[in-house]
Amino acid sequence: MNQAAQHLLKTIEKALPLLRQISGAAASAKPRPEKWSKKEILGHLIDSASNNQHKFVRAMQADGHVEFVGYAQNFWVEAQGYNTANWLEIIALWEYFNRHLAHLIQNTPTEKLENTISIDGSKPFTLGFIMADYGEHSKHHLNQILPESGFKSSFKNLY
């Protein structure tokens, strides 16, 4: 999983200076009332990091398969008030949480990568797949915030 960890770290390094160039006011702007602002998209990525940390650790702890609940993404974003939070603090939390996840991914025992996870009754996915897919999910949403960034993502919403 060293490759997935390195890809995640490269994504962080590429995104950070671009995110910091966005003003707080621009980050708060919603393209439409029902759509997330840049702050809310990055907040969603923080929520994703939190949920995935639990998936990673619980799957490592399991002897084989673990059932995991999904989460109400819109509720999480709304409840945490990302759109009124300080933009630079949102960026910092996203950065450090993801650096920690890269460390976690890099230090996952190889024999645990075949453990499986089902999310809300989905088909089972290996821990290795979930870890790699996490980075792709991140790039997918970073493209929404930074459309000129050129992040390439193979993310498909499978679960």
Q: What residues contact residue 63 under an 8 Å CB cut-off, 6+ apart?
A: 115
Q: Give tens-digit pLDDT for 26-83.
A: 999 999 999 999 999 999 999 999 999 999 999 999 988 999 998 899 999 999 999 9
Give dist(CA 89, CA 91) in Å, integer: 5
Give dist(CA 93, CA 107) in Å, integer: 21
Query: What is the pLDDT at residue 12?
Result: 97
pLDDT band at 159 (very low <50, low <70, confident <90, very high): low
Query: What is the pLDDT at residue 21?
Result: 97
Where do the H-state alpha helices sit in 62-126? 73-79, 87-106
Structure pTM? 0.93
Q: What residues contact residue 12 under an 8 Å CB cut-off, 6+ apart?
A: 95, 98, 99, 102
Give dist(CA 51, CA 8) in Å, integer: 16
Q: What is the DSSP-derived secondary structure letter of residue 84?
A: G
Return the CATH fold of 2-145: Four Helix Bundle (Hemerythrin (Met), subunit A) (1.20.120)
116-119 and 125-126 strand pairing: antiparallel
pLDDT band at 152 (very low <50, low <70, confident <90, very high): confident
Is the model's pLDDT at 153 over the cut of 90? no
- In this prediction, what percent of the chain has a pLDDT beyond 70? 97
Closest CA to 18 of 98, 95, 101: 95
Domain range list for the chain: 2-145
In the chain the beta strands, taken as DSSP E runs, fall at: 65-68, 116-119, 125-126
